Amino acid sequence: MKNKRNLIIIVIAIGAIMSFLFFILQRRANFPLREELAQLRGEKQKEENFARHLEELGGKSAQLDKDEEALYKVIPLGEAQPLNLIRELIQLGSELGLDRVNFSAQPISKELKPKEAKTEPKRSVLQMSFEADFQQLIKFLERISKLKRLVFPKTIHIERSEEILPRQKITLQLTAYYF
C-alpha cells in the first residue's frame, strides 16, 4: 500500500512537473507571438490614424479644388489678352445702349521672381472708350463691379463735345488680373 501511495505521489509529481515544464515551454513559444501581436496592433492603429488623416486631407483637397475653381473664375488662368472680359463688356455695353465702343488691351509684364510667378497674379490693362450719358456710365460701372471677373477701373476720362451732346466720350482704363 505504501508502494502504491508512493507511486501515485510520484506520478502526480511527474505530471505536475511535466505540466509546469509544458507551461513554461508554451509561454516561451508564445512570447514572440505576443510581441508580434502587439506590433501588429500598433501598426493597425497607425494605419487607422493614417486612413482618418487621409480622409481629412481628401476633404480639404476637395475644398481647395472648389476654392481654386472659384478663384480662377475671378482671376482666370493664362488669359493675358482678356477676350472673355471684352466679350462681357461688349454685351454690357449693348444692353445699356453705349455707342462706339472700342478696346485696346496690353498685358503689363512685371518681372517676378520664379517663386512668385506661380502664385502672384499678373495685371492686364484694358482701355475702353465709348459714348454714353452719365446715367449709362453709372449703370455700366455698377454692372462692372458685379462681374465674376476681378476688374478695377483705374482711370475714368470724360470728354464733352458739342457734336455728341447730351452724350460724352468716355475712356476707362480697366485693370484685370490673370495667372
Q: 79 or 59, which is more confident? A: 59
Q: Is 114's pLDDT higher than 60? A: no
Q: What is the pLDDT, as a whole number, of residue 125? A: 87
State the DSSP H helix or E strand holding residue 61, giving kind and residue range, or none if neither.
helix 2-74
Q: Is 129's pLDDT higher than 90? A: yes
pTM for the model: 0.59
Q: Is 72's pLDDT higher than 90? A: no
The helix, strand and coil proportions of the chain, stated in percent and rounded to the nearest 5, come to 60, 25, 15
Q: What is the pLDDT, as a whole number, of residue 112? A: 47
Q: 81 or 146, which is more confident? A: 146
Q: What is the pLDDT, as a whole number, of residue 5? A: 85
Per the prediction, the chain carries an average pLDDT of 85
Residue 93's CB is within 10 A of a number of other CB atoms, namely: 19
